[in-house]
């Protein structure tokens, strides 16, 4: 246990206590009583389903003081960071930006760009035309495609870009909070990530708890389905099972 943070290890603790939500609340209250300088929420990046993931984050942050850092360990996907920030978390760490670079993938506002794909071999554009990083200013997708399939330098350049992307995402997210426009930031982020309006149901549920209206980012079909579900009307027989991933 780090001397500066209280660590709430959720997975093993909950298995022993039959996944009791009450036991987690007891844990949170006990740690808050110790008046610690910060709190780490762990055990939430091991492949659990997203619905459980966001609910645990929401439950923990709701009981932790707002004037202390709330650190969610192992969270690195851009979407997860935006959702957890909406739920009250402050800090994150993860190897995702560099790990995905080693697999030849670059982070872009729309999601992930896979440089190993054959289509990249003749693409003379930068990874992201809007990115000011050194990699996007000096290298094309085609050149990076050649590197990631033959030279370790490719993963190094992609790591540089991915870390730059995450730094800009974090900065923009932080500034939107300071300037009182975080809901607009979230909606803009989701519109780019899900241009077809197919925002995952777990994200919709998390934003509802966070008090952020993202209905304009969802397709009419999704919004109508959610309205019927909220009203207790089962329309599953009329909807395809893959409506929300």
Give residue limits of the domains in the chain: 6-94, 97-165
Express each pLDDT in 141-167 by its tens digit.
999 999 998 899 999 999 999 999 999
Whether the Cβ atoms of residue 23 and residue 54 lie closer than 8 Å to each other: no
How many Cβ atoms are within 10 Å of 33's Cβ, its own excluded?
8
Task: List Cβ neighbours of 16 (8 Å cut-off, separation of 6 or more).
Answer: none
Q: What is the DSSP string of 193-231?
A: H-TTS---HHHHHHHHHHT---GGGS-HHHHHHHHHHHT
Express each pLDDT in 110-119 by its tens digit.
999 999 999 9
Taking residues 205-213, what's their average pLDDT?
A: 97
Query: Residue 92, SS3?
Result: strand
Task: Read off the DSSP letter of residue 71.
Answer: E
Query: Residue 114, SS3?
Result: strand
Whether the Cβ atoms of residue 87 and residue 41 lie closer than 8 Å to each other: no
Give percent helix, percent strand, percent coil of the chain, each to the nearest 5.
55, 10, 35
Whether the Cβ atoms of residue 225 and residue 181 lie closer than 8 Å to each other: no
Which CATH number is 6-94 given? Answer: 3.40.50
Express each pLDDT in 37-47 by its tens digit.
999 998 887 77
Taking residues 19-28, what's their average pLDDT?
A: 73
Kindly state the helix (H) or strand (E) to which residue 138 belongs, with its residue range: helix 134-138
Tokens linked to 113: 């760009």
Taking residues 117-146, what's their average pLDDT?
A: 97
> Rounded distance, CA 235 to CA 237, Å?
5
The predicted structure's pLDDT at residue 233: 47
Express each pLDDT in 73-92 by its tens digit.
999 999 999 999 999 999 99
């Amino acid at each position: 246990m780090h001397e500066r943070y209280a660590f709430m290890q959720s997975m093993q603790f909950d298995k022993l206590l039959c996944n009791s939500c009450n036991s987690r609340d007891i844990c949170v209250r006990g740690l808050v009583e110790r008046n610690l300088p910060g709190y780490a929420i762990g055990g939430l990046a091991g492949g659990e389903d997203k619905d459980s993931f966001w609910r645990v984050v929401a439950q923990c942050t709701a009981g932790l003081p707002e004037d202390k850092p709330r650190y969610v360990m192992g969270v690195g996907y851009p979407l997860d960071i935006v959702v957890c920030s909406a739920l009250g978390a402050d800090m994150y760490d993860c190897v995702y930006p560099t790990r995905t670079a080693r697999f030849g993938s670059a982070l872009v506002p729309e999601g992930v760009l896979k440089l190993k794909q054959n289509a990249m071999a003749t693409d003379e554009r930068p990874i992201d035309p809007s990115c000011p990083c050194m990699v996007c200013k000096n290298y094309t997708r085609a050149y990076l495609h050649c590197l990631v399939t033959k030279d370790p330098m490719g993963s190094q350049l992609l790591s540089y870009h991915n870390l730059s992307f995450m730094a800009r995402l974090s900065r923009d997210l932080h500034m939107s909070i300071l300037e009182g426009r975080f809901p607009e930031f979230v909606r803009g982020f989701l519109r780019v990530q899900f241009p077809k309006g197919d925002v995952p149901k777990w994200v919709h549920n998390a934003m509802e708890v966070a008090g952020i209206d993202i209905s304009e980012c969802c397709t009419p079909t999704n919004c109508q389905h959610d309205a019927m579900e909220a009203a207790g009307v089962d329309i599953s027989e009329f909807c395809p099972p893959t409506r929300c991933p």
